[in-house]
Homo-oligomer: A and B are copies of this chain.
Amino acid sequence: MVDTSKTSAHMTDPAGASSDALVVSDLSCVRGERELFSGVSFAVPSGCILLVTGPNGSGKSSLLRILAGLLDATAGSYRPPERGTFTRPVGYLGHANSIKIRLTVRENLRFWARLARAEPAVEPILQRVGLGRFMDLPAGWLSAGQLRRLALSQLMIADSRLWLLDEPAANLDSGGESVLQKELARHRSAGGCAVVTSPTDIEMTDARRFELAGQ
């Protein structure tokens, strides 16, 4: 078993980090009896974006699911940021889009808005992600990139402090990518932070980087 961790990636001293930061210390993950990573530590203070890269199968998604509380880490600990002025502490966008193809685009988003106790102004958000014209179509009719945009809008409406984005740009065209960049910028300037994964090294202005080496 190979130690794949890059423990050098401490960005602030975890102990001293303020409560509005995501602090991860010494996390490790074993799946299917294979160790994906170990000793992963970093902190993501508010206003900061961490870009997690690594080859396919290196454990990016697993890391994100751990941070979202959807998967148990094998060892180590993490502390999500407090929610502060936001409605919720943590939001998550996985590989799967969490979309019901039988509901319309609007109905899909309205449901997530209700769950997040956000005011149900779904239309402006759909406009922002470029789905304004598709609001009343069944979501099953959307193209791959449009589905991804809808999934992104679910995250935007929930108003969480920490965004966990698993390859958010998959299937997005350049318009979609710039929507994503714009929303990330807006989010960080509001005091949010984010962890974003990507299998390839992508451009992301002013983001810190963390690499999972894989084996």
A200 CB to closest chain B CB (Å) equals: 5
Task: Return A57 CB to nearest CB of chain B, in Å.
Answer: 5
The answer, yes or no, to whether A156 is at the interface (CB within 8 Å) is: no
User: Do the beta carbons of A172 and B56 come within 8 Å of each other?
Assistant: yes
Does chain B have a CB within 8 A of A95?
yes
Interface-located stretch among A42-50, A116-124, A138-146: A138-146
Given A57-B143, A142-B57, A177-B200, A171 contacting B170 (CB threshold 8 A): yes
Establish whether residues B199 and A56, one from each chain, have CB atoms under 8 Å apart when the complex forms: no
Q: A32-B141, A57-B142 are in contact. List 16 more A-B contacts (CB 8 A).
A: A54-B173, A55-B145, A55-B174, A56-B143, A56-B148, A56-B172, A57-B145, A57-B146, A61-B144, A95-B171, A167-B171, A170-B171, A172-B200, A174-B199, A174-B200, A177-B200
Chain A interface size, under 10 / 10 to 19 / 20 to 34 / 35 or more: 20 to 34
What CA separation (Å) do A167 and B144 show in the bound complex?
10
Is the Cβ of B141 less than 8 Å from the Cβ of A61?
no
Q: Which residues of A approach B to under 8 Å, CB–CB? A: 31-32, 54-57, 61, 95, 130, 137, 141-146, 148-149, 167, 170-177, 199-201
Beyond A171-B95, A171-B167, is A176–B56 a contact (Cβ under 8 Å)?
yes
How many angstroms from the CA of A95 to the CA of B170 in the assembled complex?
11
Closest beta carbon of chain B to A132's beta carbon, Å: 12
A149–B149 CA distance with the chains assembled, in angstroms = 24
Chain B residues within an 8 Å CB radius of A177 = 200
How far is B54's CA from A175's CA once the two chains are assembled, in angstroms?
10
Looking across the interface, which residue of chain B has its beta carbon closest to that of A200? B174
Cα distance, A56 to B130, chains bound together (Å): 10
Whether the Cβ atoms of A56 and B173 lie closer than 8 Å is yes
Query: Chain B residues near A137 (CB, 8 Å)?
Result: 32
Q: Tell me, rounded to whole Å, the shortest Cβ–Cβ distance linking A23 to chain B.
A: 26
Would you give 25 A-B contacts (Cβ < 8 Å), ordered by A?
Answer: A31-B141, A32-B141, A55-B145, A55-B174, A56-B143, A56-B144, A56-B145, A56-B146, A56-B149, A56-B171, A56-B172, A56-B173, A56-B175, A56-B176, A61-B144, A95-B144, A144-B167, A167-B171, A170-B170, A172-B200, A173-B199, A173-B200, A174-B199, A174-B200, A174-B201
